[in-house]
Amino acid sequence: MTRSPRKPERPRLGVIASHFIQYQAPIWRELAKREEIDLTVYYLSDHGRRPGFDAGFGHTFQWDVPLDQGYRWELLPGAEGTSPGSLRHRMSLEPIKKALAGTADVFLRNDYNSPGALLFFYACMARGIPVLYRGDSTLLHESPGWRSWKRMILGPLFRNGVMVLSVGKLVREYTMDLGAPPDRIVSSPHNVDTPYWEEAASRRRPERDRIREGFGLPPARPVVLFCGKLIEKKRPMDLAEAMCRLSERREVSLLVAGAGDLLEPMKAAVSGVPGLSVHFAGFVNQSGLPDIYAVADIVCLPSGGDETWGLVVNEAMHFGCVPVVSDRVGCGPDLVEGIGESFSAGDPVALASAIGKVLDGLEERKSRVPSRIGRYSLARAVDGIVEGALRSTNRSGAHAGTPRPGGNP
């Protein structure tokens, strides 16, 4: 693990992380560079650092980008070999021991929905230990009864103890519904590794025609991309039907990057359709995704439920892709409104219409993508975390209590 000397004058930020996640590692690396804080990430599981089986993709794989470099981290006792979501993972009290031992001045967690996490939050509140929450929960997928239960259990935390790092508009709405006061909500927009994707886009976009030809996709046809697990929750079959309908009116291409139970049914649904060119790339690891995004014009996320954000949209927008998402996808109000199109989840006809609208004004919509995705950068996300840590420990934050230029998720 990476070690660096501590500076006691800086507030110590301890992150309680579920496991090694490709979207979070860039945040930890950037935080480690900031002089205002002293970072340590504590992991509940070593999943993501070692090869593991993913039920959605249907095979064992390991991310081909390093997730454990550039920042200080520790595996908590019992983390080795533990799977996220297992009973040991959900019940772990090791974060409470870290808090009570005084290993950090302020803690950050991205989850609350496990017994161990709830006990951690309440233990910290009882001891006056500041906690930051940066998650992506929304009200899109919750029944009134479930919301009432959450208000009862989580309300005291968000009203009195936790500072919210809001990744987007729906998260702000969600935490305010739980009682979070506006002056304890700081913008920390949902992001990907901005410098990596910007560099990859500048390098691969000039090659788009050559890459398209390699995929067997005609250079002149617009390309609609699905990138993710081919499972029911993501509703890829809705996109297959929509593309078949769309191809009756115009020539289009479909690019599918992913694996899962619905791979063969999706192939069968789009096979031999006149006017529709198709390429199935299979599972694509992180280093191969730039070629996928570079050839696409539209990125589609037709998920039917529990899609609290959809970071694939962030990645694709760095390549100029226009997003089309269902109304069950959490990034809609932030990334899609005014740029792409939303549609009613589970309605392939509405999906085909939404894609058609984008294609009718594709270049003009593409011109608006860079400024929008620029608001959801790695730097802004880390600025928000630093501000929350400083405010929670009574240090001064550079933007404390003020909206950020370009929007306040």
pLDDT in tens, 120-165: 999 999 999 999 999 999 988 777 777 788 889 999 999 988 999 9
d(CA 349, CA 245): 8
* Residue 310 near residue 330, CB atoms below 8 Å: yes
Q: With a cut of 50, which residues of the chain have pLDDT below it? A: 2-8, 398-408
> Half-sphere exposure of residue 52, counting CA atoms within 13 Å on the CB side?
18
Mean pLDDT of the chain: 91
State the CB neighbour count (10 A cutoff) for residue 284: 15
Q: Output the pLDDT for position 346.
A: 96
Walk across the sheet containing 252-257 and list its strands.
276-282, 252-257, 223-227, 298-301, 322-326, 341-343
Q: Output the pLDDT for position 278.
A: 98
Q: Which two tokens stand for residue 87?
A: 């009973």
d(CA 93, CA 116): 6
Q: Output the pLDDT for position 113.
A: 86
Q: Output the pLDDT for position 3.
A: 43
Instruction: Enumerate residues 6+ apart whose C-beta is below 8 A from 199.
Output: none
Q: Output the pLDDT for position 399.
A: 39
Q: Output the pLDDT for position 243.
A: 98
Provide the percentage of residues in the chain whose pLDDT is more than 90.
Answer: 84
Q: Output the pLDDT for position 401.
A: 36
* Residue 325 near residue 331, CB atoms below 8 Å: yes
Reference 124, options 42, 14, 31; nearest CA is 14
Q: Output the pLDDT for position 247.
A: 96
Reference 239, options 358, 118, 67, 354; nearest CA is 354
Interhelix angle 144-160/169-177, rounded to 10 degrees, is: 90
pLDDT digits 0-9 by tens, 336-391: 999 999 999 999 999 999 999 999 999 999 999 999 999 999 999 999 999 999 99
